[in-house]
Amino acid sequence: MKTKELIRQLQKHDPTGELECCVGNADIHFVCTQPAYWDGCLQVLKRNPNTQYYNIIGAKYTTKGTKVMINPLSISDAIFNDQDLPVEFDELSEGNREWYKQCVEKRRAEVEAIENDIEGEYFTEYLVKRFVNEGGELELEDVKKLAREFHDEYIDYRDPMPEDIVKMKVKQKIDGKDMEVWASWHDRRCAQWDREVVLEVVDGKLKLRKV
């Protein structure tokens, strides 16, 4: 559908311009233009303008030209970006309200599990590297197992960072010049773990504790 036809249809169905728009019941996050080949070939449907109802008579894939992309964002995906996103249910019936509340809480729990699992992998890599750098001689598989168990029990991906670590900067060479830039999330998290996780080898066994 061409942009001019989409605008015509929108004005036809909502002359006021005040109705909410959606794609598959998800709100529209933003609209942009991209080359037709961007993120996969553009799919174009060919229509018979003389048919009132279903009028699709052909289709094509193309990489030529430019396309307007309407990008929806569901509440579920928005929660993935912000686990604590406020969600309102007041305009639903009681039955629907409870069902959608359960869906949202389930999604929040899924996101928390995913985020903690990802950070658990980062923490394991961090601890193995630190253990090796400090001259550890234990089996690395044992170190990995202990690291993951310690993370799952004592560390949460939403643990707040100390203010000085939040503002931490590192030196990088950019265009041949040494420059100070904001540290990445990973570098800041590792700096926090350097401070808060004590690593000791006692009687040949690795001991971890959080301070």
Q: Is residue 52 a part of any domain in this protein?
A: yes
Predicted pLDDT at 82: 94
Query: What is the distance between the alpha carbons of residues 131 and 143, in angstroms, rounded to a whole number?
Result: 8
Confidence at residue 185, expressed as pLDDT on a 0 to 100 scale: 92
**Predicted local confidence at residue 138, as pLDDT:** 77
Domain match, 119 and 69 both = no
Per-residue pLDDT, 33: 97
Which residue ranges in the chain fall short of pLDDT 50?
Answer: none
Q: What is the pLDDT of residue 174?
A: 83
pLDDT of res. 139: 83
Which of 56, 73, 90 corresponds to the end of one domain?
Answer: 73
Which residues lie closer than 8 Å to 157 by C-beta, 6 or more apart?
112, 115, 116, 118, 119
Residues 45 and 122 placed together within one structural domain of the fold? no
- Nearest one of 181, 145, 143, 183 to 161, comparing CA atoms: 183
- Give me the DSSP letters along 95-157: HHHHHHHHHHHHHHHHHHHHHHHHHHHHHHHHHHHHHHHTT--S-HHHHHHHHHHHHHHH--T
Tell whether 115 and 204 lie within a shared domain. yes
Cα gap 190→165, rounded to integer Å: 10
pTM, 2 dp: 0.80
Any domain includes 158: yes
pLDDT confidence of residue 200: 86
Among residues 27, 46, 73, which one ends one of the domains? 73
Q: Domain of 172? A: 110-210
Kindly state whether residue 105 falls inside one of the protein's structural domains.
no
Question: Which residue matches tokens 């728009």?
Answer: 21
Annotate 2-31 with b (16+ C-beta within 10 A) or e (fewer). Answer: eeeeeeeeeeeeeeeeeeeeeeeeeeeeee
Does 195 map to a domain? yes
Q: Give yes or no: residues 63 and 138 share one domain.
A: no
pLDDT score at 65: 96
Residues 66 and 115 in one domain: no
- 79 within some domain: no
Same domain, 119 and 179: yes
Domain boundary among 47, 73, 99: 73
102's tokens: 């359960």
Is 51 within the bounds of a domain?
yes
Whether residue 206 sits in one domain with residue 116: yes
Total number of domains constituting the chain: 2
Q: Are residues 64 and 122 in the same domain?
A: no
**Residue 38 lies inside a defined structural domain of this protein:** yes
- Token duo for residue 165: 């670590």
Whether residues 60 and 119 share a domain: the answer is no
Residue 189 within a domain: yes
How many other β-carbons are positioned within 10 Å of the β-carbon of residue 119?
19
Q: Helices 140-154 and 94-133 sit at what angle, rounded to 10 degrees?
A: 140
